[in-house]
Amino acid sequence: MTAHNPDKSAPPPAASPKPTDVLRIQVERSHNGHTAQGTVLLHRSAAPDAGESPHTKLAGTRAWLALGEARLAAGDAPAAVACAQAGIQELGRRYAAHTVVDDTGMKIRAAEEQLQKGHIQDAATVMLRMLATRTKLYAKLHAGAVVE
């Protein structure tokens, strides 16, 4: 049992956005009959009035990442590689601030070399890890718009 000391109270938790302040974008990506969903939450004030959000690619990339991780866990490394490559392609090149020292490209090239040598499982693992890193960098770059 923990005693509560009113003189040393914890700071109040950070206010999270109200559901009405948040726009949810959810997409689905498929590969060889397997499907996964990806979601991004945006501050409604940062969402476009009409048309598709430029951050839909983050949701798509998250779907590719989830699908790739699921395929790798199922022992289907070639499909995991294909999903990682699709996610990397969908996210594009503008995912990090110019001030970020980004070595994901170098690691992806090393994974591609492993792939050529037949080390598919290792390549898939690295590619998916780099895709996860890039999605986090993207969310950080667009922190003013992306809630989660």
Is there a contact between 49 and 19 (Cβ–Cβ < 8 Å)? no
Cα 68 from chain centre: 12
Span 122-138, average pLDDT: 98
Range of weakest confidence among 9-13, 18-22, 119-123, 140-144: 9-13
Output the average pLDDT for the chain: 88
Query: Which one, of 49, 118, 129, 62, lies nearest residue 90 by Cα?
Result: 62
User: Helix or strand or coil: residue 102?
Assistant: coil
pLDDT in tens, 38-85: 999 998 776 665 457 889 999 999 999 999 999 999 999 999 999 999
HSE (CB half, 13 Å, CA atoms) of 124?
24
Sorted by where each begins, the domain ranges of the chain are 19-141
Bridge-partner residues for 23, per DSSP?
42
